[in-house]
């Protein structure tokens, strides 16, 4: 499921991360934030916007197979709590696929949490939502400018790199990130980084999206 190199490096830094967490962030030993092995695979193409290999391509393919099974029973639907311009067809995992949701929450705490502590010295409290979003010509070709207002940190993972043309993510006054390889996570602060999904010109683009709440260790 998890990229082998990323899993190995997270395990390597975990003792220092746990010590930082137990100290409530009070430790003066900040070497893990100056340089650590995870930073060797983290990229920062735009300021405070990071990418890292997270899931294996094989896991992404398996999840897409599950998506096809889900579509036999229910459709991708927009979030009615959002204004119409920002609505994207999605499947909310906690509601429609609770087993997958619990599996993803395990990834949130075991893999993403150490990464967040390194990047922002904040830990993950919970997930506001984990969903699979779908951009396509018929239902939603591109996203509107928006903040992910109910989250502190957003993580977006492409599940496919073929089967569509176009796509990518544009950040207002910051730059554009082309579609990442399947399984690579795009990580950014939710409220400060206004963004939009760029137009899909052909096919279906599937994204695994995490909206996460964080806090300073105490």
Ordered domains of the chain (ranges, CATH): 4-215 (2.60.120.620)
Its pTM stands at 0.91
Percentage of the chain exceeding pLDDT 90: 64
Listed as own residue / partner, the contacts of 45-49 with beta carbons closer than 8 Å and 24 or more positions apart are 45/175, 45/177, 46/171, 46/174, 46/175, 46/177, 46/188, 47/174, 48/188, 48/189, 48/192, 48/193, 49/171, 49/174, 49/177, 49/186, 49/187, 49/188, 49/193
Cα–Cα distance for residue pair 210/207, rounded to 1 Å: 10
pLDDT, tens digit, 9 for 90 and up, residues 41-96: 999 999 999 999 999 999 999 999 999 999 888 888 866 665 555 567 899 999 99
């Amino acid at each position: 499921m998890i990229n082998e190199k990323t899993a190995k490096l997270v395990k390597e830094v975990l003792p220092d991360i746990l010590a930082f967490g137990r100290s409530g962030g009070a430790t003066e030993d900040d070497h893990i934030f100056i340089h650590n092995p995870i930073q060797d695979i983290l990229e920062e193409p735009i300021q405070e916007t990071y990418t890292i290999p997270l899931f294996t391509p094989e896991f992404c393919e398996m999840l897409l197979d599950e998506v096809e099974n889900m579509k036999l029973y229910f459709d991708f639907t927009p979030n009615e709590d959002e204004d119409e311009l920002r609505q994207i067809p999605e499947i909310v995992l906690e509601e429609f696929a609770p087993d997958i949701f619990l599996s993803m929450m395990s990834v949130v705490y075991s893999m993403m949490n150490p990464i967040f502590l390194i990047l922002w010295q904040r830990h993950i409290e919970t997930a506001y939502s984990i969903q699979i979003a779908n951009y396509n010509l018929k239902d939603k070709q591109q996203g509107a400018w928006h903040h992910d207002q109910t989250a502190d940190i957003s993580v977006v993972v492409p599940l496919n790199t073929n089967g569509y043309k176009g796509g990518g993510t544009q950040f207002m006054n910051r730059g554009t990130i082309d579609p990442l390889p399947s399984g690579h996570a795009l990580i950014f602060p939710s409220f400060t980084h206004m963004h939009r999904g760029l137009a899909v010109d052909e096919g279906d683009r599937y994204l695994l999206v995490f909206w996460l709440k964080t806090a300073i260790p105490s």
